[in-house]
Amino acid sequence: MSRWTSPSLRAAACRAGVTACLTFAATLSLRAQDAPALAGNALRNRAAELSTQLAVPPSPAFALVSLEESAILRPTSFQQFATSLSSFAGAGGGFALPRAVGVELAPIFLARGKALSLDQYRAHPARYRLRLSGAIKRSDDATGSTAAALGLRLSLIDETDPRTHPDAARFLTSLAEKIVAICRRVDGPPSDDAEPGAVSCADPRGRVASLTAQLSALRASAPDSLRQGLERQLDAARARAERNQREIDAINGTLERFKQEWPGNAWNRNALDVAVAASAVSRDSLGSDPRFDVLAMWLSGARRWGEWGQLVGGVSARSARDSLGGDRHAGVSLGGGLFFGANRIKGFLQLSATAQQKRKPQGELTGGSEFYLLPGVWAQASLGWGQEAVTGHGRLVTHFALRTAFPQLLPSRGGS
Amino acid sequence: MQVIRFDRQQGALRVEVRAGWANPGAYDLILWEADSNARVMEEAGNFLNSADDSYTLPGPASAHDGRIVEAFVTITPVDEQGRYSASLRISQGGEVLGDVSVSGESAEHTVMLDLFARLEATP
């Protein structure tokens, strides 16, 4: 999950006819290790994500091959990716894949990251938000049949991404400018033995440490006037460093508040996501007799409606092989809805329809609410009417879920 | 301290401040007089637009022998890992003479970096 506080509501909704269900899904470390726009993606608590039928899965390949979170690698660099792969080396030097493994990364962002400027990113944000996911899972049974999937997700529009949001980027820049202004107070150039690196603008030249070391090194026989002079310099350096640190702390406090409030300001911003994924299964772990299994596509969009609302729409299509008969069947789901309220409490009305080969079309109309209970705990409840897939009879649809989304809040630290 | 050598007979020196991982940030660029606490030049900028982050050092190249060029850079990492990268690039006549760069990951809201190098003229 992004360091930017955000409850995440991606857990699958539980829809079970007239039976209410309770979901308690801990969504720890959901995303963002890799993708640039994770900042944007993870801080979304946007309304479109409330609806599983409309939502584009964050990692499309994992939607086709279900994996435990612990089996997923999200490398933050290609070097880290290579290191992760090397851990799969077998005893004989061969390559031994674990029973289940998934990889998700933003390849273009990773490739250009170190040299990628903010304006280059802003010129082609979708390119850098592209995320690829891949997964392999071997069954536990004796055959060792294996499923593999590949997917990609593209966020064409993501107004929750602070890098592309002009106000957010400008605000973050203005805070950085204030800290730089504190660094600028140095009274001389760096020393010959100094090395470039991270510093604290409270005391960029390390005067406090240097004077402390000088005082400690003074011999007992050193003149009192020398000692007192050093002590005075040290007191002055400490006072200056403390004053600077207080200013830096205040700036970081403003930054932290901004990050906490950003999801609330951003919940109903415009977004357009598309994803595709395909999977195949083989008879054994060696890839014998591979067969194409599922092809799926998702498209969802959200449009802000004033300060309090958001219109969302989505379509997903899927062509899958029947696991028993081997026949292929296709299905399409369409949906749209209106979400209204604020970040902490939202209401929604949603209409969806599903058409599948050899089945009667289904429709569902639901309304409900999602609301904040406690830090990290959200509740969602809905009530609606839908059609049974087989009989076509109407049915009451209820849904209740409790979700945890522990924000990865950074402690209030004073900066470097 | 890193030393960057230049040709005193050639054209003006240029300095560019850059940041990676598409992070917002700001910097202060200082040119220190040789063996002195005097500032020959000081410029402030940010990473909203990289087109204005390149500066020509004042005067002929030979004037910069022994001077120190320094950039204080503050970055506000946007992604979860707090990845950051910044560099100070010195060039002359379109040729890159040297690059002082620092990169890493930080859990802090802001990362403050000090990039500097001494300029030395080749005989």
Strand partners, B120: B5
Tokens 């040297």, located at residue: B98
Q: In B, which residues are within 8 Å of A407 by CB distance? A: none
Closest CA of chain A from B12, distance in Å: 22
Report yes or no: B109 at the A interface, CB cutoff 8 Å. yes
pLDDT along chain B (123 residues), means of 10: 92 95 95 94 94 93 94 91 93 94 90 95 85
Each residue's pLDDT tens digit, A71-107: 677 776 666 666 666 666 666 666 666 777 888 888 9
Can you tell me the distance from the alpha carbon of A151 to that of A129, in angstroms, rounded to the nearest whole number? 14
Q: Which of residues 68-87 of A touch B (CB under 8 A)?
A: 76
Inter-residue contact B57 to B73 (CB < 8 Å): no
What are the backbone angles phi and psi of residue A79, rounded to the nearest 5°?
-65, -45
**A residues 305..334 contacting B (CB < 8 A):** none
Structure confidence at residue A128 (pLDDT): 94
Chain B residue at shortest CA distance from A112: B21
Rounded CA separation A400/A383 (Å): 9
Predicted confidence at residue B82, as pLDDT, reads 87
CB A44 within 8 A of CB A1: no
Q: In this structure, how many other beta carbons lie within 10 angstroms of the beta carbon of residue A322? A: 9
Give the A:B interface size as CB pairs under 8 Å.
197
What is the per-residue pLDDT for B28? 96
d(CA B71, nearest CA chain A) in Å = 9
Record the pTM: 0.78
What phi, psi does A163 have (nearest 5°)? Answer: -65, -35
- Collect the ranges in chain A with pLDDT lower than 50: 1-51, 406-416
CB A33 within 8 A of CB B82: no
pLDDT tens per residue across span A255-268 = 888 887 776 566 78
Beta bridge partners of A296: A277, A318
Give, for A206, the enclosing helix (H) or strand (E): none
B52 touches chain A (CB under 8 A): no
Q: Which residues of A touch B110 (CB under 8 A)?
A: 175-176, 179, 248, 251-252, 255, 415-416
Q: Do A184 and B47 touch (CB under 8 A)?
A: no
Beta bridge mates, A282: A146
Q: Does B57 touch chain A (CB under 8 A)?
A: no
ipTM above 0.90, yes or no: yes
Residue pointed to by tokens 């020398």: A226
CB B31 within 8 A of CB B41: yes
With CA atoms as reference, the chain B residue closest to A256 would be B109
Q: What is the pLDDT of residue A323?
A: 66
Q: How far is CA A401 from the centre of its chain?
A: 21
Q: To probe the interface with A, which of B35, B74, B108 has the most A CB atoms within 10 Å? A: B74
According to DSSP, the residues that pair with A272 across neighbouring strands are: A157, A301
A256 CB within 8 Å of a chain B CB? yes
How far is CA A235 from its chain centroid? Answer: 45
Q: Is there a contact between A2 and B110 if contact means CB atoms under 8 Å apart?
A: no
Task: Return mean pLDDT, chain A.
Answer: 75
pLDDT recorded at residue A9? 29
Q: Kindly state whether B116 is in contact with chain A, defined as any CB-CB distance less than 8 angstroms.
A: yes
Residue B82 falls in which region: left (phi positive, over 0), alpha (psi -120 to 50) or beta: left
Q: What part of A 172-191 touches B (C-beta under 8 Å)?
A: 172-173, 175-177, 179-181, 183-184, 187-191
Q: How far apart are CA B74 and CA B27, in angstroms?
A: 6
